[in-house]
Each structure stands twice: as C-alpha cells, then as structure tokens.
Amino acid sequence: MSEQLDAVDVIRTKRDKGRLSDAQIDWVVDAYTRGVVAEEQMAALAMAILLNGMDRAEIARWTGAMIASGERMDFSGLSRPTADKHSTGGVGDKITLPLAPLVAAFGVAVPQLSGRGLGHTGGTLDKLEAIPGWRAALSNDEMMTQLEDVGAVICQAGSGLAPADRKLYALRDVTSTVEAIPLIASSIMSKKIAEGTGSLVLDVKVGSGAFMKDIDRARELARTMVELGTDAGVRTVALLTDMETPLGLTAGNGLEVRESVEVLAGGGPADVVELTVALAREMLTAAGQPDADPAAALADGRAMDVWRRMIAAQGGDVDAPLPVAKETEQVLASSDGVLTGLDAYAVGVAAWRLGAGRARKEDPVQAAAGIELHAKPGDRVRAGQPLLTLHTDTPERFGRAREALEGAVRIDQGAAAAAPRPLVLDRIGE
C-alpha cells in the first residue's frame, strides 16, 4: 500500500520543536508497528521527543494510537466494579501481592496484569512463580471467570494489548530514550487503558531504588499519567512514594512472598502494611467505597481468604513450603550507632547479582535468591550485629553482591535513633 505520510517529515517536525498533528501521530505509530517505519527512524523520533517534549493533547493522541495497535479488554460484563494499581517499580516492592486480595475482599474486581523483573527492580510474576504450581499465563476467559468468582487475578498481560508499546519499549531500552516522560507515560497508560479497568491508582516511586530519582520529575510523570487516564475516562490518582530504602525487610522472589503472607496474616513490616492500606484506600474510594476499612480486612483474615483462593485458582499450592536458598552469608555492622542510610539501589543490584533478577528478558531467576534486612534506617545497631543476610543457590555470586553493597550502609555513631522517613510523599489527582 502507498503510505500517506513520510517518516522523515514526522521526525523533522519534532526535531524542530513542532507539534505533531493527530494524523502524523496515528500514522507513525501504526506504520512503525507494521514495520514500514524503520527502527532507526523511530529511534530518531524517540530522541526528538525526549529532547523537545510533547504537550498534553499530543501525549493523549500518542497513547490512543498505541492502544489502537491492539485489542482492548472489556470488564463491563462483571458484576463487580474494577480497580487496578500500577507501580513504577522499586526494591522490595511486593505490594501487589497483599493489595489485590485485600481490595477484592470488598467486592471490587482487581485485574492485575503484571510483568517480570529486569535489572534491579523485581517483577511480580517472578515472585509468585516461587509458589509451587502457580502459573502466570491465563486466557482472557480464565481471567474473567476468576475475576467474577474470586475477585482478584495477578497474571501476565496478553500479547494483544498495545503491541506498539512492546516494540517501542525494546527500542527505547537500547537508544537511551527510556527517560522521556511522554513515552514512559504513554507506555504505562496505553496498557492500563487497553486493559479496560474502571479506575487506576498509580504508585510512582521516588529515590535511589526507583526509576525516578528526582521528586519534580516523578511529579511530572505522575501528573502526565493522571491526565492521560482522566482524558480516557478512567478515574486515576497517583501517590508519590519513597524508594530511598527497600520496602519491607526482603528483596527477592520467595522471600517477598513469605513477607506478603505475613502482611495478609495481620503482621509484617510496618512500611509494607502502611503502603498496602494507603493504596487500598485509594482503590476502594475510586471504586465507590470511600468508607471501607482495609486495615480491618488484614486483621480479621478476609484478605488472606481471598489470597488463598486466588493462588489456588492459578494452580498454586498455597500450603507448600516456599523455596529456601542453599547458601546464606551475613553482612555485619561495622560499628555501634544509628543506621542512617541503606541504599535501595545497591540492595536491588545485590539481590539481582545473587540471582533474584535478570539482565535480559530471557534469563532465568532463582526463586530463593535475595536479601533479608535485619535493620532499617532509624534503628540503633551494634558492631558485629547482622544487618543483611544474602541468599543464593550459587555461592560464587556472594563476592559480586558484596561489591554492590559497598558504601550502601551508613552508620552514624553520634546520631540519636530517628523516626523513619514519610512513605507517602504526595498525592496527585485531577
């Protein structure tokens, strides 16, 4: 077929700080998905967008074109309202695991389409695959049935949702254009809008272990995504949350499942509970239940009941023991004092090097690898006390993991024990 537009003209418009027309955006996304626009041409356009930005209408149109590249899901046939959550990723961020069954305990359907870990951030599907028998791949029919019966599903997104995004994401990864806010926002929101949820809560992480290190850029990303959701008719709100220190006391796969189950049993680390409850409140309010009390549903076992049904529905043996690493090694405190810093990025890289994460999409992960934290910033520690336990099946990895942790721990001998930093930094709604 003869093409109605020319890639070079589209690139030139954005290179020269112009505004892309609706026709240019619709055509270039579709033509790139069909293979008519070459990889190097889309790379040039992505760099022009990174350098020169896009306005709200351009980003909305770009997101719409990505959605139009594939199928859309429709949950209108369910008897329950739908709410979803997306996190921009961090270290020890296991919140989806207790959150989905917690929200579902109030009669809200939670279709949580999740991904795998890459680099220092963990993937929800990798964590759940530590549970014997659990499977991530569900058909759309299986997903719908489980949402109606159980109320929550955590599974991998089908290849039919926003295929333009999958192709463009791989390109951005190798052309240093991942950081372009219009492209991050449209990547996340094209999948979430195509998924068809009625409301969406975004957890935008800020700090060393997050994709966004700077709160102003995180706020810009959050605002852009909230606008995209709102413009598409999805009730959307974003929380900016701290990721200077890992969430909870574990980073890894099976280790984080164990901690999530502790939260569902009414215990678990205070920060994981606080963020789970805060996000649940936002999701329940968006789904029309502003008076629901998620903390009560953790305490009385309702959320745990949904978790057990959700795991079993996807083939998981909820009572089977989780895998345990063959080898462990401890990192000890060098002096007495107050732990004033524990760098999330360093802990994430160390967990990844122990086998909990992957460098390339096709790499396997170890279910039992990761790091256990025995103290958090603000705690008083003594010389020789264990601060971290490293877990792996392959002990030759310990050396590289320890290298990643050099300089990650800060102990101040003169400081007084301090209150932890606030976890929720800001809230952005329309």
**Could you confirm whether 149 is annotated as catalytic?**
no
What is the C-alpha to C-alpha distance for residues 49 and 22, in angstroms, rounded to an integer? Answer: 15
* DSSP 8-state assignment for residue 138: -
Residues in CB range of 334: below 8 A, 6 or more apart: 383, 409, 411
Select which of 14, 94, 191, 223 is catalytic. 191
**Could you confirm whether 87 is annotated as catalytic?**
no
Select which of 93, 165, 203, 271 is catalytic. 165
**Could you confirm whether 187 is annotated as catalytic?**
yes
Distance of CA 241 to the CA centre of its chain: 12
What is the C-alpha to C-alpha distance for residues 148 and 115, in angstroms, rounded to an integer? Answer: 22
Residue 142 CB coordination number (10 Å): 15
**Could you confirm whether 191 is annotated as catalytic?**
yes
Q: Judge whether 374 and 332 are in contact, CB under 8 Å.
A: no
What is the C-alpha to C-alpha distance for residues 48 and 176, in angstroms, rounded to an integer? Answer: 12
Select which of 69, 87, 187, 199 is catalytic. 187
Q: Which of 354, 306, 403 lies closest to 117 in space, CA to CA? A: 354
What is the C-alpha to C-alpha distance for residues 315 and 211, in angstroms, rounded to an integer? Answer: 33
Coil, helix or strand at residue 242:
strand
Select which of 61, 94, 172, 302 is catalytic. 172
What is the C-alpha to C-alpha distance for residues 202 and 168, in angstroms, rounded to an integer? Answer: 22
Select which of 61, 86, 116, 192 is catalytic. 86
Structure tokens, 413: 């001998």
What is the C-alpha to C-alpha distance for residues 1 and 72, in angstroms, rounded to an integer? Answer: 26
Catalytic residue annotation: 86, 165, 172, 187, 191
